[in-house]
Amino acid sequence: METVIERMRDGIEEAGMRRAGEILRRGGLVAFPTETVYGLGADALDEKASGKIYQAKGRPSDNPLIVHIADWEAIGKIAAEIPPGAKLLADAFWPGPLTMILKKSDAVPLATTGGLDTVAVRLPSHPVARALIRAGGGYVAAPSANTSGRPSPTTAEHVAQDMDGVIDMIIDGGSVEIGLESTIVDLTEGTPTILRPGYISREMLEGVVGRVEVDHALLSEDVNIRPKAPGMRYRHYAPRAQLVIVEGEQQRVRQRINELAAANAAEGRSTGVIGTQESRGCYANALVKSIGSRQDESSIARHLYGILREFDDSEVSVIYSESFDTPQLGQAIMNRLIKAAGHQIISV
């Protein structure tokens, strides 16, 4: 299949958007930018179309898709019940990087929800995403547009690395703004519960709906506790090289990473380091990449997946990463980084 690239970095291009909408309406696949990461879209109400997403990504069929809408009113068709908290959260955070789990209506095929009787819904803020959802009929199922297990794409080039020749179209909207997937909050039972941390923090949610819990599995090192979001059960974002997080006081972290890099060099093994603008000059014997600045945590979030992909193109055999427990985004950043590292952490 030839994958058409539509360039919309400087705004929506009407003719291209019409073609994209037609592809979705006849059951095809279009990758598109959102404010979080690039999504791989299909008509969410067409089970054959959403089935193609699983195939293109190599995604396990029990890992449900998020349904993207462009207007609050659209929610009535896909949710069987709309709890009061959903309206409050939508007023506060939609359009934006928040996904809500609700009881699904019969309009949503089980192929889209991985067999569950609940549906994940998000109303993104990216203008290209919203125009595409409208052009495609109003309901677009879209997981991240990467091959399953690879880092989520934050540029159209990343999407092409994984999806060229596999899907009908990629809309190139340039680099995304946030770089981490949406916060997922479950509103189907009692207290709202965070199933995946993201840009919208627990404190922000609690400011709107009162007490919010976090899925116990996210806080525990015990691999026998199953996360409630099926997708959080799979190993994710793994770079090809071994990835190890080094955490602790910053000076000692730098020192330990330098010792490890020197030992690797003596054995003829090449090392990568994920540092920051502030620390990048402090390392030797390694290929050092700066993820962003500790003065600007959003820069760290935005570059995380791109850096993991860049290391996949290099020859390093082990990567050491600093730890980024920043105020608002730290939980979301470390959730992704720890998964990418397969829980390998050295504390100094």
Q: Under the rule (CB under 6 A), what is the footprint of ligand AMP?
A: 63-64, 66, 101, 113, 116, 118-120, 143-144, 181, 184, 195-196, 229-232
Distance CA 284, CA 224 (A): 39
Shortest distance, position 148 Cβ to Mg ion, whole Å: 8
Shortest distance, position 228 Cβ to ligand AMP, whole Å: 6
Q: Which residue has the tokens 């699904």?
A: 104
Distance CA 101, CA 190 (A): 12
Q: Which residue, 233 or 280, has its beta carbon nearer to ligand AMP?
A: 233
Q: Which residue, 184 or 329, has its beta carbon nearer to ligand AMP?
A: 184
Q: Which residue, 21 or 198, has its beta carbon nearer to ligand AMP?
A: 198
Distances (CA, A) of 77 to 72, 81, 97, 143, 167: 11, 10, 21, 20, 28
- DSSP per-residue letters across 261-292: HHHHHHTT--EEEEE-TTTGGG--SSEEEE--
Shortest distance, position 59 Cβ to Mg ion, whole Å: 8
Q: Which residue, 189 or 206, has its beta carbon nearer to ligand AMP?
A: 189
Distance CA 151, CA 163 (A): 13
What is the separation of C-alpha 227 from the centre of its chain, rounded to a whole number of angstroms? Answer: 16
Q: What is the dihedral sign for C-alpha 152, 155, 159, 162? A: negative
Find which of ligand AMP, Mg ion, none residue 96 binds, CB within 5 to 8 Å per kind: none
CB 162 within 8 A of CB 150: yes
Shortest distance, position 67 Cβ to ligand AMP, whole Å: 8
The DSSP call for residue 74 is G
Q: Which residue, 21 or 231, has its beta carbon nearer to Mg ion?
A: 231
Q: Which residue, 38 or 324, has its beta carbon nearer to ligand AMP?
A: 38
Find which of ligand AMP, Mg ion, none residue 66 binds, CB within 5 to 8 Å per kind: ligand AMP
Find which of ligand AMP, Mg ion, none residue 168 binds, CB within 5 to 8 Å per kind: none
Q: Reduced to 3 states, what is the DSSP secondary structure of residue 251?
A: helix
Shortest distance, position 143 Cβ to Mg ion, whole Å: 5
* Interacting residues toward Mg ion by CB under 5 A: 143-144
Shortest distance, position 337 Cβ to ligand AMP, whole Å: 16
